[in-house]
Amino acid sequence: MKRKGKLFRAFGATSVAAVTAMTMAATTTSGAASNGTLAKGAPVTIGISLSLSGDFSADGLAYQQGYKLWAADVNRAGGLLGHPVKLDIVSDASSPTQVVTNYQKLISTDHVNLTFGPFSTLLTLPAAQTVNRYGYAMIEGAGGGPSVFQAGLKNVFDVTLPVAYDLQPFAKWLTSLPASTRPKTISYVTSNDPFTQPVVQEAQKLIGKSVKTVYNNVFPAEATDFTSIADAVAAAKAQVVVLGSVDVPTVSAFMQAFEQAHYTPEAFIATAGPDQGAAFIKAVGAKNADGMMVPNSWYGQSKNPQSMKMVAEYVKQYGGTAAGVNADIAEAYAVGQVMAQAVTATKGFDNSKIIKYLHSGVTLNSVQGSVKFNALGMNTAQTAYTFQWQGSKFVEVNPVGDPGAVKILFPKPAWGN
Amino acid sequence: MNSSALIHAVIDGVLTGSVYALMATGLTLIFGVMDIINVAQGIFVILGAYLSYALSVHWGIDPFVGLAITIPTLFFVGIAVEKAFFGRLKGPEKTAMSILVTYAISLVIEGTLNMVFTVNYVQIQAWYVNKSFRLFGVWFPYIYVFGFIMAAIMLSGLYILLYRTRFGASIRASLADQTAAALVGIDVRRVSTICFGIGIALTAPGGMIFGATNTFNASTSYDLISRLLTIIVLGGMGSLGGALLAGILMVTLEDLVGVIWSPVWSTLSFFLVLVIVLSVRPQGLFGKQSARVA
């Protein structure tokens, strides 16, 4: 009996301690999430986890530049509601596990006021789920894969076009070509990444039987040696290749293997990689880039006044040209812009009010164009474009008939010419 | 699936696998002699790639010619690292501690490379990087063929060093039993230092070929090290022949699975074979369990 009593006391004490700890934690975190006011002049801290090393480091660093560029602009203009913006950026090393730890730390230890998203669909989903538990809004620019929206979260808002629609203009252009000039064969090859696979599947659905599929395969996202896969695609000799890629190395490996196999597709579009501006050209060479296509919703030479201002600032600060500005910069900058408009409209930093406001159907603006969220947090106001490298220029080629679109380079020139 | 695709997969596997074997040989040599698991081997490969890249871009030196500079450079970097960090590592915790130390070294090198070269991806360029020739109806990329020939020369040179020289006998004695080697008068400490230098020097040619066949930045090393560790564990920790065979076997198998079945399963097959082999032979294909236990 005595032993049982001790056990009960120990259990009781532990329970009380645990409940107290949980209550304190809940008070602290909900306080951080719902307290929309800050002391006068106190900084508003925004917590961000970025891939500053690992597979997504090139994109992570570009995102960091975009976020910092936005914060500098806001602070120059007097801050958010008079509060200077302070970015609390931590590295997740491109790991879906680390990104969870990072946002938990940012919210429960660092007590950040707001959160911005990490890079990639792969990391955004666990990140959004984590901040959702604390009642935080997560505005992001690189988590456009369907898995993010299918999670049923109410706190996630992607300022960029949902990726599933990325290849619509390309598919429409291809299928609208007269039968006499339309390519007869197509190869689909994609990484099994949650960002790329849905894009390529959607393209397959749209193109359907208009063009005969001669190769269709998926490779693991963790693959590092693409030689045999690329050789198999080359052996299929399709006139069109649709590649589901997340980065420059993947696209570059396929391009190199195709050249070595003396195979040049008439049209070659990759879901990501060629959009990385100067970084892509530096890796593959300008001559090889000629004719390479990529879907996106923004490019460096966009005539959007906000975009032109941002690009000018970026070039002044980091050098290069407008065509060489990575699309990640604009995505990150747009995240900040949308948050700023939400904060201004709700007159504070209350995450629940921000979430409610962003779900209200309001149309906002950004360097990428208009932003309007549906119930799932998808941006329904943007248009998908296809861009192509033509010489050293990165130009819009469709939707066909769009005022900014130039004639598509088709068929693609041979490698190195 | 057709026979030409299979032939292509085997050729790709053998050519690429030989370069991985070269990179892994340095790793297994270091473990065999020093009981050090060098998880920094991946970043040293990338360092080798960046050195070749820098020589090519800034001085116009052909990557193969540049090896005359990069191999000795990395040899001395290896010597310096060994003297700075591993001389004091002793006792039963040495192997475990070596993982932490080499991980720290890899982080420092990664950070330095990111500062110097930025995180933007680069690739080594030369006339033969994207060119190929046709033989018996199959396209052979020059860079892979040159890489294979270079790996064969390097590994043959290493074989001669190990089996035809007095110093090689010292290394093999140290590989078999460090205490016994010391008892017969071999300066095991000196042998260890030079072996570490050789192990790191071997990343120069491996890195050059890797950098010419892949775009890379410092973070690419993470993908490399898991592959290299798998190869040396499969071949048998400390076995040079095992690393060679496992490198070619693993990459060829991966390519064949990709062609016959699906690329989705190719990476899985790489690790599945490792699990199966280790469940039958825990010491790997050519590892000597008794020597390692001792």
The distance of B203 to chain A (nearest Cα, Å) reads 18
| Strands A393-398 and A385-390, sheet pairing | antiparallel
The ipTM value here is 0.80
What is the predicted pLDDT for the residue at A34? 46
pTM: 0.79
Which of B56, B119, B254 is the best residue to mutate to test the A interface, defined by the most A CB atoms within 10 Å of its own CB?
B119
For residue A1, the Cα-to-chain-centroid distance in whole angstroms is: 62
User: Can the peptide bond before residue B282 be classed as cis, meaning omega within 30 degrees of 0?
Assistant: no
Residue of A nearest to B127 (CA): A416
> Is A306 near chain B, with CB under 8 Å?
no
Residue whose pair of structure tokens reads 């007159």 in the numeric block: A347
What is the predicted pLDDT for the residue at A417? 67
Element (H, E) at A49: strand A44-50
Task: Give me chain B's average pLDDT, please.
Answer: 88
- Dihedral class, residue A79 (left if φ above 0, else alpha if ψ from -120 to 50, else beta): left
Higher pLDDT residue, B74 or B135? Answer: B74
Same topology, domains A44-163+304-371 and A165-296+385-398? Answer is yes
The 8-class DSSP code of residue A405 comes to: -
- Dihedral class, residue A302 (left if φ above 0, else alpha if ψ from -120 to 50, else beta): beta
- Sign of torsion over alpha carbons B164, B166, B168, B172: positive
Are B223 and A224 a contacting pair at CB < 8 A?
Answer: yes
Are B132 and A261 a contacting pair at CB < 8 A?
Answer: yes
**How far apart are the C-alpha atoms of B141 and A244, rounded to whole Å?**
24
Percent of chain B topping pLDDT 90: 45
Are B224 and A224 a contacting pair at CB < 8 A?
Answer: yes
Are B139 and A218 a contacting pair at CB < 8 A?
Answer: no
Quick one: pLDDT band at residue B175, thresholds 50, 70, 90?
A: confident
> Is A237 near chain B, with CB under 8 Å?
no
Pick B215's closest partner by Cβ from A228, A252, A261.
Answer: A252
Are B130 and A259 a contacting pair at CB < 8 A?
Answer: yes
Are A228 and B264 a contacting pair at CB < 8 A?
Answer: no
What is the predicted pLDDT for the residue at A35? 55
Residue of A nearest to B138 (CA): A261
Are A225 and B131 a contacting pair at CB < 8 A?
Answer: no
The 8-class DSSP code of residue A162 comes to: P
Pick A283's closest partner by Cβ from B118, B121, B130.
Answer: B121
Are B139 and A262 a contacting pair at CB < 8 A?
Answer: yes
Q: What is the interface size between A and B, counted as CB pairs within 8 Å?
A: 126
> Is A79 near chain B, with CB under 8 Å?
no
- Looking at the predicted structure, is the pLDDT value of residue B126 above 70? yes
- Dihedral class, residue A382 (left if φ above 0, else alpha if ψ from -120 to 50, else beta): beta
What is the predicted pLDDT for the residue at A391? 84
Which of B215, B255, B257 is the best residue to mutate to test the A interface, defined by the most A CB atoms within 10 Å of its own CB?
B215
What is the predicted pLDDT for the residue at A22? 45
What is the predicted pLDDT for the residue at A356? 96
Which of B102, B108, B110 has its CA nearest to residue B85? Answer: B102
Other Cβ atoms less than 10 A from the Cβ of B135: the count is 10
Domain ranges in chain A are 44-163+304-371, 165-296+385-398
Give me the CATH topology for the region A44-163+304-371.
Rossmann fold (3.40.50)
Strand partners for A218: A190
**How far apart are the C-alpha atoms of A91 and A107, rounded to whole Å?**
15
The 8-class DSSP code of residue A360 comes to: T
Which of A287, A272, A273, A280 has its CA nearest to residue A320? Answer: A280
Which of B121, B213, B230, B253 is the best residue to mutate to test the A interface, defined by the most A CB atoms within 10 Å of its own CB?
B121
The distance of B115 to chain A (nearest Cα, Å) reads 12
Q: For B134, phi and psi rounded to 5 degrees? A: -105, 130
Q: For A366, phi and psi rounded to 5 degrees? A: -155, 175
Strand partners for A85: A44
What is the predicted pLDDT for the residue at B1? 58
Are A219 and B223 a contacting pair at CB < 8 A?
Answer: no
The distance of A237 to chain B (nearest Cα, Å) reads 13
Put simply, the chain A residues between 91 and 110 with a CB less than 8 A from any chain B CB are 94
Mean pLDDT of the B257-277 span: 86
Higher pLDDT residue, B142 or A299? Answer: B142
CB < 8 Å to B132, chain A: 260-262
Are B122 and A282 a contacting pair at CB < 8 A?
Answer: yes
Which of B56, B214, B216 is the best residue to mutate to test the A interface, defined by the most A CB atoms within 10 Å of its own CB?
B214
Are B215 and A224 a contacting pair at CB < 8 A?
Answer: no
Which of A218, A229, A260, A276 is the best residue to mutate to test the B interface, defined by the most B CB atoms within 10 Å of its own CB?
A260
Are A228 and B121 a contacting pair at CB < 8 A?
Answer: no
- Looking at the predicted structure, is the pLDDT value of residue B188 above 50? yes
Strand, coil or helix: what is A116?
A: strand
Domain ranges in chain B are 3-293
Which pLDDT tens digits describe chain A residue by residue (417 residues)? 333 444 444 445 455 455 444 444 444 444 444 456 788 889 999 999 999 888 888 899 999 999 999 999 999 999 999 999 999 999 998 899 999 999 999 999 999 999 999 999 999 999 999 999 999 999 999 998 888 998 889 999 999 988 888 899 999 999 999 999 999 999 999 999 888 998 999 999 999 999 999 999 999 887 878 888 898 899 999 999 999 998 899 999 999 999 999 999 999 999 999 988 888 888 888 889 999 999 988 888 888 899 999 999 999 998 888 888 888 999 999 999 999 999 999 999 999 999 999 999 999 999 998 999 999 999 998 888 999 999 888 899 988 777 788 999 999 999 976
For residue A153, the Cα-to-chain-centroid distance in whole angstroms is: 17
Task: Give me chain A's average pLDDT, please.
Answer: 88
What is the predicted pLDDT for the residue at A74? 96
Are A175 and A211 in contact by the 8 Å Cβ rule? The answer is: yes
Mean pLDDT of the B52-60 span: 95
CATH number of the domain at B3-293, please? 1.10.3470
Tokens of B249: 């076997």
Task: Identify each DSSP E strand in A276-384 by its residue range.
Answer: 292-296, 364-366, 369-371
**How far apart are the C-alpha atoms of A252 and A292, rounded to whole Å?**
11
What is the predicted pLDDT for the residue at B289? 58
Are A334 and A367 in contact by the 8 Å Cβ rule? The answer is: yes
Mean pLDDT of the B178-201 span: 89
CB < 8 Å to B12, chain A: 227-228, 231
What is the predicted pLDDT for the residue at B261? 85
Pick A53's closest partner by Cβ from B4, B110, B125.
Answer: B110
- Looking at the predicted structure, is the pLDDT value of residue B180 above 50? yes
Are A224 and B114 a contacting pair at CB < 8 A?
Answer: no
Are A340 and A124 in contact by the 8 Å Cβ rule? The answer is: no
CATH 3.90.1200.10 fits A165-296+385-398, yes or no: no
The distance of B141 to chain A (nearest Cα, Å) reads 6
What is the predicted pLDDT for the residue at B33? 82
Q: What is the pLDDT of residues A391-406, one digit of tens each?
A: 888 899 988 777 788 9
